[in-house]
Structure formats: structure tokens, C-alpha cells
Amino acid sequence: MKYEKKSNPLFNELNQVIDFANIRKQHIIEASNKAIEKAKANLESISKIPQSKKTFENTMLVLDNINNDLMKVSEIISLFAYVHPDDGIRNESLERTSQLGRFFNEISLNEELYNAIKTYSKISEALGLKGARKKYLKETVEEFERNGFALAKEEREKLKIIQDKISDLGIQFDSNISSHEDFLIVTKEQIDGLPEDYKKAHRQDDGTFKIGMEYPSYIPFMKYSKSDEARKELAKKFKNVAADKNLDILKQILIERRNMAELLGYKTFAEYRTEDRMAKSPKNVWEFENKLKEKVREKAKLDYEELLSIKRKQRNDNSVETIESWEAAYYDNILLKEKYELDNQKLKEYFELNNIIQGLFKIAQHLYGVKFEEVKNLSVWHDEVRFFEVFDKNKLIARFYLDLYPRANKYNHAALFGMISGKKNDNVFQIPTASLVCNFPKATEETPALLTHRDVETFFHEFGHLMHDLLTKAELSSQSGTNVARDFVEMPSQIFEHWAWDYEALKLFAKHYKTNEILPENLHNKMIKAKNVGSGLQNLQQIFYGILDMTYHDKYDAAGEKSTTEIVRELQNEITLYKFQEGTHFEAGFGHLNGYAAGYYSYLWAKVFSEDMFSVFEENGIMDQKTGLKLKEIVLERGSTIDEMEIVKEFLGREPSEEAFIRSIGL
């Protein structure tokens, strides 16, 4: 079945750029309906092939093509659900994302398809498969069986109902977070301490200031406002994002996940989730988290004492024994300025957004032997979106979009959104396309867009994801780019953060926005000295998030009497050194509970591995192109064509170790 090319911009030819500006609501409805219709016809064709005539091409490759065609529509519609400025398109996209999610569930529970693939897996051609094709077949069969094909048909119907519920609830959970609008109105006195450009951007006609929940608004206020009362109130609002809607939804998600796991024969959802990941079991995750918790706590206690000494000095009161969670960023900033003499506002003057983009490009181009070129006046979904093409030896290999600034109803964090996967398509490679969605501060009349160093690090992190997605050479879209085990996916992004710290790399882009002076070496030395300030507290916070997630999915009954908030309170007070802020429901706005679901541990898991892998650059030189090309060829190009642990070992040339991570946090 072939699409008839009409006026719908989503029905584009292979490797044709999408006309985003002209996509309308009707195009989204039509594209999702036709994608499903086409997929159904092709699924039927797989089931009809007699056993004697089954081949990889007419069975497994067709399945990969089906997934690829569906994802090309669903990924773009999903992106629109979070970033499109038009309410109608955004809402329709959300609805169609739900429709497509249900159809993916249908495929995963399609008995005829499972029987066709299981039958193919037993014939001689299948038994002789090697490499990526063998892995794809094995994992496809296993995934079907993880989806219930050991169950009777009646039980599978129950499973489908549960999976549809989970999908719909998850979409609503995320939507409630991204559409939540709240703010704090503060006075001139309460905003004291904030820089002038921030005050100007937030000032209202009546002389008060409106502080929103988006990061560029929230984080500076928590760091610089001298008003403890205002910071406490803003933190309370921030930790109650979507609490009016998502507490019930989260409870229901956890109940349905447990029902699903038990129906499939697993004790917990965490057991189900970790089985096909690097970790393999909840037991390995608990051992990982608890082992790190003890080591990291040593550093966290030292960090806490440093903050206490600052608070005592500021308050002129040596009896102070507690730092509240809403005070941490404020005293941390004073600590950096007074003890480490690091002024983040001064540092920000060296991080102008366009310079960062140019420097980021120079580094990636040098390490990976590629070239980025911007294409102007292209059809995009918002006039601030920029478009780039990636070339390798003058051959176009990838494309990407940058959507960098906050706006109303836009996804309010930083993330990579995949759009089109890399994939061999007969003799032509399908050009991978993705977008980076960020929320960096805009330029003002007085200054260009200046980023904190934390924002710079975030940009490098997300760009690491982007390179993983775009530099793929995988034959199958199911194995290309970031389609890897969830506890591996953060490694390439976390490795790339290091180039936001190294002086050799920083000299390429860290220039004062007025004088063009390169970041002075003495200021960089202060950055490095201050790098591990609070590293114990920050990593302990990550351990708390990971343990919270695992507790919800491995040791908690959401249908019982204890609420999700009671679990947050208990674990925060037990693990972190900051007391739980009463009256808050942080978990309602913790989007990772939907996306990562018994997988949040993977951030720290990947961090431990990524620090180990980065140690190869430390040995050979951070700008060593030979090591960069090795990373590109062994890690970035492969996707999940081989087992992820084998990728790590091959790059390292040895067994992995946690030593580099422990060193990296200052222990």
C-alpha cells in the first residue's frame, strides 16, 4: 500500500524536508489515521506468508518498516503536542498521540504477528542469522512474550486494556505538567538580589514582579532572592506543579503497572522493567543505589557543613543546625562567591548563546569529523526555530532543529525529541532528523541571550543525545540512534557534558559578550575548584529520585493506605540531608515517573559508566580526534545493534569500574 501524495505536509517523500509551517489540525488527523491503515495492511501481509516462503526481508524487515512509518508520524505529532504554539494543533496532537499509543499496544498484542515471527524464528534462515539481525529477531520474540504471549487469549485482552489505560494516563500526566500554569507575585523587596536584566524581564505594570515555574524564571530566583519567605513560597508552588490533577493519576498509573506486571508473571513492575536492560533485575539496581548512597553520603555531609557555615555567618548565629531545601541554592551561591570567589552572574557574561552554539559545533565537528550548516528561511513550527544539516565528507547524513526559548504552553525542560530515525531503505539511507527543545533565556534590549554555566552544561548534554540519534549507521530503525536500553541512553549525553568544563574546549566559545575576551584562566580555575561544591548533596538527591522511583515500582502498593506523598516524605528525610517541605507533592510534577518508570536509576547508572568512558579522553586528550572517532564508531553509530555492555567494554578495552565516578565528585 502506498500513500497518495496530497497536500498533507506529513505525507512527504523519503528524505524530503517537512513543511511544518503549513501543517493544520486536519493533516494530523489524516496522517495518524492513514499511518494506522497502512500499518494494518502491512501487518496482514506478514501473517499471510507461508512458512516455507518466510524470509528476513518479508517478515522482520517489513515489521521494522511498519514501526518506522508509524514513528515518522507519531514522533512529529508527539513533538507538536508539547511545542506547537497553536492550542488546537497541540490538543489534537495530544489526542492523536494517545490514538497511536493504543495502536502500538495493539501491535504488541497481535497474535497473528507473533505466530508469524515465532514461526519464522524456527526456520533455517532465521537460525543462521548473525549480528544485528539475529539480535533484532531474538529481542522481538522476547518482547512479544514479555507482552503476554505466554498468556491465554482472554488474559491478553485484559493486558491490552491495562496497557491502553497506562498509555492514556501517562499522556495525561505529562500534559498536566506541561500545561500547568502558576506563578508568584513578589514585591521589590522580595526580588532584591536578582540581576537587573531578570527584574526587567519579570516586572509588571504595577511595579510587582511575576515569577513563573519555568526553569529560567524559577532557578535564578531560588539562587539570588534575599527573601527567604518568597523562596519558600515559590518552592512550594514549584513542588506542587499539577498536584491538583496528577496525584490521582499517578496512583492509578502505579496500580495499573502492578496489575500488568502480575498478569505477566512478574512480582513487581520493576522486575518486568529491568529484565531487558543493562541492570537485568531490581536486585542489581538496589545494590547499585545502596552502595553509592553510602559513599556519596560522606561527601554530602561535608557539603552540608559548608552550607551551614555560610548560613551561620549570614545570620550571625552559630546555633543554626539546619538548611531548608528552599535555602540550599541561595546559600550555595553565597558559598561559591565568598569561599570559591565564583560569581555566576559574572561567569554568565562569557556564555552568549550564539557563541556557545558555534563552539559546540566546532567541538562536535572536530571530534566526529562532520560539518553543520544552517539552512535559513525554512518552514518551521515557530519563527524562533532554527534548522541545520549535518554532512560527513560532503554527504548529507542528518538534520536537526533547535527550539531554544520558552513560550506559553511549551514543554518547559530541555530534551531531545526524535522525529525520523536513521534506517537503510533499499539503497538509500533514511536521513535521521531530530529536534532539541530547550528553554534558555532570551536576549533583552540591554544584553544578548546569556546562559548560566549550568545551562551550558545542559545544552552540551542534550547535544550529546542529538549526536547519538543523528550519527547512527544502523540498518534497522528499531536499533538506530537512541533506540538503546534505557539505562544506556544517558551515557553519550553525559560524556559530552565534559566539553562544557575543559579549558581547551571552553576557549573556543567562552567569550565576553561585550569585549570578546576569552574566559580568563583564573576564572576557569575557580570554576574547576567550585565544580564539586555540593556534588555529594546533588548526587544524593539523584539517589533519592532513583530510590523513590524504584520504591514506587518495587516495594509499594498504591492501592494501600499509604499515599505517594508519604513515601516522598519518608525517603527524602531518610536519604537526603534536606527535610521534606510540608504541604508539597513533588511527585505530581516529576515527569520522569511516567517516562522512566522504574528506570530513573539509569541516570546515575549511566553517569558511573560515562565517567569511566570519559577517562579514555582524559588519558588521550579531550580534543583527541582519534578518540572522538572511536566514540563515534563504537558507540554513536551502532545504536543497539550489539549488546550495550559489550559496547562499553569495547570502548574501554577492559571491564568497567566506578573509580572514575567517585573521583569525579571529589572523593
Every domain of the chain and the residues it spans: 20-108+110-146, 183-238, 243-340+535-599, 353-532+603-664
| Region 545-561 average pLDDT | 97
pLDDT at 6: 56
> Which H or E run contains 126?
helix 124-127
Rg of the chain, C-alpha, whole Å: 25
Give yes or no on whether 243-340+535-599 and 353-532+603-664 have one common fold: yes
Q: Alpha-carbon distance 150 to 332, whole Å? A: 54
Residue 597 to residues 166, 294, 554: CA-CA distances in angstroms? 11, 24, 11
Is residue 376's pLDDT more than 50? Answer: yes
| Region 188-210 average pLDDT | 96
pLDDT at 2: 39
Catalytic residue among 75, 92, 462, 497: 462
Q: Alpha-carbon distance 638 to 634, whole Å? A: 6
pLDDT at 4: 43
pTM listed for this prediction: 0.82
Q: Alpha-carbon distance 175 to 170, whole Å? A: 8
For residue 500, the SS3 value is: helix
| Region 258-280 average pLDDT | 95
Is residue 151's pLDDT more than 70? Answer: yes
pLDDT at 160: 87
| Region 289-295 average pLDDT | 91
Mean pLDDT over the full length of the chain: 94
Percent of the chain at pLDDT exceeding 70: 99
| Side chain identity, residue 165 | K
Architecture of domain 20-108+110-146: Up-down Bundle (1.20)
For residue 486, the SS3 value is: coil
Pick the CATH number of 243-340+535-599 from 1.10.1370.10, 1.10.1740.10, 3.60.20.10, 1.10.3720.10: 1.10.1370.10
What's the number of CA atoms in the CB half-sphere (13 Å) around residue 550?
A: 23
pLDDT at 342: 83
Is residue 262's pLDDT more than 90? Answer: yes
| Region 606-618 average pLDDT | 95
CB 632 within 8 A of CB 368: yes
pLDDT at 524: 95
Residue 193 to residues 199, 231, 447, 493: CA-CA distances in angstroms? 10, 12, 19, 33
| Region 404-433 average pLDDT | 94
pLDDT at 117: 96
Per-residue confidence band for 595, with pLDDT thresholds at 50, 70 and 90: confident
| Region 625-638 average pLDDT | 98
85-133 residue pLDDT tens: 999 999 999 999 999 999 998 998 898 999 999 999 999 999 999 999 9
The reply to whether 462 belongs to the active site is: yes
CB 656 within 8 A of CB 607: no
Is residue 228's pLDDT more than 60? Answer: yes
Architecture of domain 353-532+603-664: Orthogonal Bundle (1.10)
pLDDT at 658: 84
Residue 380 to residues 13, 270, 417, 418: CA-CA distances in angstroms? 18, 40, 15, 16
Residue recorded with cell 515518522: 72
Q: What are all long-range contacts of 336-343, with beta carbons under 8 Å and residues at least 24 apart?
A: 336/530, 336/533, 338/310, 339/306, 339/310, 340/526, 340/529, 340/530, 340/533, 341/526, 342/523, 342/526, 342/527, 342/529, 342/530
458-469 residue pLDDT tens: 999 999 999 999
Is residue 278's pLDDT more than 60? Answer: yes
Q: What does the DSSP 8-state code read for residue 9?
A: T
CB 544 within 8 A of CB 575: yes
Per-residue confidence band for 547, with pLDDT thresholds at 50, 70 and 90: very high
pLDDT at 1: 32
> Exposed, middle or buried: residue 605 (CB in 10 Å: 0-12, 13-18, 19+)?
buried
Phi-psi region of 355 (alpha: psi -120 to 50; beta: other; left: phi over 0): alpha
